[in-house]
Amino acid sequence: MPALTRPLTRASAAHIRKLLHEKRTREADGTFVVEGAKAVRDVLAEYPSLVQTVVTTPAYCRRELPTDRHLRETSGVFSYTCSSQVFATLSNVRTPQEILAVVKQPVWSESEVLSQDRVLGLFGERIQDPLNLGAIIRTAAALNSTALWLTSDSVDRFNPKVVRATGGALLCLPMFIRPDVAGLSSKGCAVYASDASLREAVEIESIHSIPDRLILVFGNEGQGVSEHTRRAAVVRFSIPIRSSMESLNVSASVAIALHYFGRLPTIAGQSLPSM
């Protein structure tokens, strides 16, 4: 049955603007905005039950791919239409494609995630840059990380810049908010912290096996992991780089570490690595 389409009301337009600009509105409503033809196509194809509404313009509909139109019209998702001028006030990008979707935030069970025999998770501490967080989410999903935990003072994972940078990976990776990594240690997970300062850190390539339940911690872009987290970690590791360079971008460090640790053999019940 074709989806219903109605003119976008002022109230709905105002609500979408709040979703784009206000974390508290996203949290209260439990939704966020996905913008762009490919992004909306992907979410309609993979997660139609999470799509609340779609907004388009007549100009977009005239150039819309037939397959995209068929997907949108047969999804059962309620659609709004508005002028290009109104859509420009809704968009968070310089040159909007004139299609967006309001999507429900996925809800994951942390207890189910932590009940798995093997865990290779990420913990982000005070990650501030939206593009970094988006890249971390995309990398974690691509390299089969079990889940991502973030401290509450990290950038909102449903921030529009983060959403765009994830490349569609936002809905397939379990994510949770925790005040610190200590709670995961109490759930039987070993904690390894990335430590660019090299203080008491072992080079990553000297680690040859890992625990079957492991959390990799990465800290703030400028300050790294906190001293509290360093103390909670059973291992602090570094990624060797050229001596003239101060550090790696945090998203690059995540990619290298996940790729490396994900290929190592695991040993049940082990908390310290073999070297």
Q: Say whether 85 sits in a helix, a strand or coil.
A: helix
In this prediction, residue 164 carries a pLDDT of 94
Q: What domains sit in the chain, N to C, each tagged with a CATH number?
A: 5-104 (3.30.1330.30), 110-267 (3.40.1280.10)
Residues 182-192: tens digit of each pLDDT: 899 989 999 99
- Say if residue 179's pLDDT is above 60: yes
Q: What is the DSSP letter of 92?
A: S
194 neighbors 239 (Cβ within 8 angstroms): yes
Q: How far apart are CA 138 and CA 208, in angstroms?
A: 26
pLDDT per residue over 17-44, tens digit each? Answer: 999 999 999 999 999 999 999 999 999 9
pLDDT in tens, 208-266: 999 999 999 998 877 788 888 888 899 999 888 887 777 788 999 999 999 999 999 98
Residue 192: which of 206, 173, 174 has the closest Cα?
206
Residue 270 pLDDT > 60, yes or no? no
Per-residue confidence (pLDDT) for residue 1, from 0 to 100:
41
Q: What is the pLDDT of residue 221?
A: 75
Tokens (6 digits) for 122: 């990420």
Residue 235: C-alpha distances to residues 99, 117, 122, 266, 273 (Å): 46, 21, 14, 15, 8
Length of the chain: 275
* pLDDT score at 20: 96
Question: Which residue in the block uniquely carries the two structure tokens 């093997």?
Answer: 118
**Per-residue pLDDT reduced to its tens digit, 112-166:** 999 999 999 999 999 999 999 999 999 999 999 999 999 999 999 999 999 999 9
- The C-alpha atoms of residue 191 and residue 185 are separated, in whole angstroms, by 7
Segment 77-93 shows an average pLDDT of 95
What pLDDT was estimated at residue 274? 62
d(CA 44, CA 71): 7
Q: Which of 151, 94, 96, 144 is nearest to 124 (CA)?
A: 151
* pLDDT surpassing 80 at residue 92: yes
Asked if pLDDT for residue 3 goes beyond 70, the answer is no
Q: How many CB atoms lie within 10 A of CB 216?
A: 26
- pLDDT grade for 273, boundaries at 50, 70 and 90: low
pLDDT the model gives residue 275? 59
Token representation of residue 143: 């390299």
- Pairwise CA distance, residues 110 & 152, whole Å: 16
Task: Compute the average pLDDT of residues 87-115.
Answer: 96
φ and ψ at residue 191, rounded to 5 degrees: -115, 120
**Contact predicate 134/250, CB 8 Å:** no
